[in-house]
Amino acid sequence: MTVPPTRSVRVSRSICIGLLTVFAAACSESQPVSASLAIKGARVWTGDPAQPWAEAVAARGEDIIAVGTTAEIDELIGDKTQVIEANGGMLVPGFIDAHVHFLDGGSTIASVQLRDAESPQEFAQRIGDFVSNAEPGEWITGGTWDHMNWGGELPRRDWIDAVSTDNPVWVMRLDGHMGIGNSLALQLAGVDAETPDVPGGEIVRDSEGRPTGVLKDNAMRLIFSAVPEPTQKQLDGYLDAAMQYVVSNGVTSVHDMFDGGVGGWRSLETYRRAEANNALITRIYSITPLAEWQKLDDYVATNGRGTEWLRFGGVKGFMDGSLGSHTAAFLEPYTDTPDDSGFLLDPLDDLREWITGADAAGLQLNVHAIGDKAIRDLLDIYFDVAEANGPRDRRFRMEHAQHIHPDDVPRFGIQNVIASMQPYHAIDDGRWAEAVIGAERVQTTYAFRSLIESGARVAFGSDWYVAPASPLEGIYAAVTRRTLDDRNPDGWVPQEKITVEQALRAYTYEGAYASFEEDRKGMLKPGMLADMVLIDRDLTDIRPGTIREAQVLKTIVGGRVVFSR
């Protein structure tokens, strides 16, 4: 799109033609139109194959009206135009984080910080410090600990009992697939040596059969019922904290995944209230539980599928657990626990029935699958359901798609299954995954490049609260595959590294496609929403190892600057 430089401040005929449907009212030859926002002097990566690079962008209201040279955009600047000088910074489409747990993430900002606790002593100490500022009897939740930080020994309730006897404590591992409670929390939840095992979960027990405090996957439900529900005021606060946090990282849209915690229907209602109050600064695709797909079907019949700020119409289900919790389902046993192959969380027949019903109702499927068995079973179900329900633009998604059997890599492209992946997990799990699943299986682990080259669509996200919601960290991870311990300076499984532009596309256009919104976002071109991020340096022009040092300078959502550094 170019604006003839000799014209005065008018929308050119070419813009009018391009934008007829959006801006018909603004397109008379005589009516001067100026931009409400202009960004100039940038390295603009548009994501648009027809015009990949530009210098400047103009927006009017919520939408982009022109992309071109700085001189061309100058023609659209009027008295009331807000002008941002980019000084050579990189402007890209607003990042879309295709997998977050938004309100849980917001709640972790306010809770005890355990992610970087490096020893059992530090883990207990931090909980003790937090408890000393809590009200007596108040539940301490959140946490996001990682026992891999101290060599893999699972925490025990007596570690926490030593620092908290009057406050029930229930803190989750950072992957959300197990948690640890102290003795008081277990007592309040009625979990003891007599409690029977839970299908699709595990009560970790000592040699005498007493619970150690760790509950995995479905067994965590035993505790969830005892933890008081957050109040609506708390949820509103979590949402606000979550939005402020993600915009500071350049994220303009999130896909919020139901995860059994705060997520689901209460999240959706919290977002609807915020939208009604014009309080959203992040666009949200709110995804509700698969098992309740009929409820969503009714909800969509009454409410439609939402707006450009808040969408719904997708359901989230789970095949299996996680690698770090040894609950991901594999075809062969774990390398470090040869009698254990993980497990599926729900009976396959139930999953098949729910997926068939949800798909027939026109809902989008977003199903978590991590181990190679879970991935294969889900691809099989998706194949059968597409056959049975007939052709439609359904955009099946597989969340995580972490450890793919080599035979199954091409199936994503062939079956049109979007791989919704989180590159930060690769440089996190890469520290220890080979010990857990062996050298052979890691070769197709986080197989970004193989998937993209085989024709699959790959959308990127963070899985926040599990990992930081920072696309710049994610791009660094996908491009370098340097594990967090820096033991793999040339990349862990380096053949699966991708380019900066491939990673940018996965964080922008592919995320838009994954929520059926590629006609409105994911690229910078006229007619698209003015969702943009200004970064302090051109990511394609720096050493990949320094990508994580780049900073977000401005985040713009719908033509409005919502974050400035």
Q: 3-class DSSP state for residue 392?
A: coil
Nearest to Zn ion by Cβ — which residue? 463
Q: At residue 118, what are phi and psi to the nearest 5 degrees?
A: -100, -5
Asked if omega into 509 is within 30° of 0 (cis), the reply is no
Helix, strand, coil % (nearest 5) of the chain? 35, 20, 40
Q: 462-491 mask for Zn ion (x: CB under 5 A)?
A: -x----------------------------
Query: Least distance to Zn ion from the beta carbon of 257, Å?
Result: 5
Closer residue to Zn ion in complex, CB, 463/531: 463
Measure CA 399 to chain center: 9
Q: 3-class DSSP state for residue 270?
A: helix
Residue by residue, DSSP assigns 471-518 as HHHHHHHHHH---TT---TT-SSGGG---HHHHHHHHTHHHHHHTT-T
Q: How many helices (H) and strands (E) does the chain have?
A: 20, 25
Query: Least distance to Zn ion from the beta carbon of 413, Å?
Result: 23
Closer residue to Zn ion in complex, CB, 408/463: 463
Closer residue to Zn ion in complex, CB, 36/422: 422
**Short-list 228, 308, 223, 261, CA closest to 106:** 261
Q: How far apart are CA 261 and CA 104, in angstroms?
A: 7
Closer residue to Zn ion in complex, CB, 434/463: 463
Closer residue to Zn ion in complex, CB, 141/183: 141
Q: How far apart are CA 176 and CA 166, in angstroms?
A: 25
Strands 140-145, 169-173: pairing is parallel
Q: 424-463 mask for Zn ion (x: CB under 5 A)?
A: ---------------------------------------x
Query: Least distance to Zn ion from the beta carbon of 432, Å?
Result: 19
Closer residue to Zn ion in complex, CB, 372/463: 463
Closer residue to Zn ion in complex, CB, 34/462: 462
Query: Least distance to Zn ion from the beta carbon of 259, Å?
Result: 6
The tokens describing 535, both together, are 């970064």
Asked if omega into 446 is within 30° of 0 (cis), the reply is no
Query: Least distance to Zn ion from the beta carbon of 86, Å?
Result: 34
The tokens describing 379, both together, are 């691809």
Count, residues near Zn ion per rule CB under 5 A:
1
Closer residue to Zn ion in complex, CB, 115/273: 115
Residue 256 lies near Zn ion (rule: CB under 5 A): no
Is residue 141 within a helix (H) or strand (E), and if so which, with residue range? strand 140-145
Query: Least distance to Zn ion from the beta carbon of 271, Å?
Result: 18
Closer residue to Zn ion in complex, CB, 186/246: 246
Strands 251-257, 201-205: pairing is unpaired
Query: Least distance to Zn ion from the beta carbon of 316, Å?
Result: 9
Query: Least distance to Zn ion from the beta carbon of 239, Å?
Result: 18
Q: At residue 401, what are phi and psi to the nearest 5 degrees?
A: 45, 50
The answer to whether the Cα torsion of 545, 548, 549, 553 is positive or negative is positive
Query: Least distance to Zn ion from the beta carbon of 68, Å?
Result: 39
Query: Least distance to Zn ion from the beta carbon of 426, Å?
Result: 15
Instruction: Specify the length of the chain in residues.
Output: 565
Q: 3-class DSSP state for residue 72?
A: helix
Closer residue to Zn ion in complex, CB, 94/260: 260
HSE toward the beta carbon, residue 345, CA cutoff 13 A: 27
Closer residue to Zn ion in complex, CB, 287/500: 287
Strands 169-173, 178-181: pairing is antiparallel
Closer residue to Zn ion in complex, CB, 222/369: 369
Query: Least distance to Zn ion from the beta carbon of 532, Å?
Result: 27
The answer to whether the Cα torsion of 219, 220, 226, 229 is positive or negative is negative
203: β partners: 215
Please answer whether residues 179 and 173 qualify as being in contact, where contact means their C-beta atoms are separated by less than 8 angstroms.
yes
Query: Least distance to Zn ion from the beta carbon of 101, Å?
Result: 6
Residues that bind Zn ion (CB under 5 A): 463
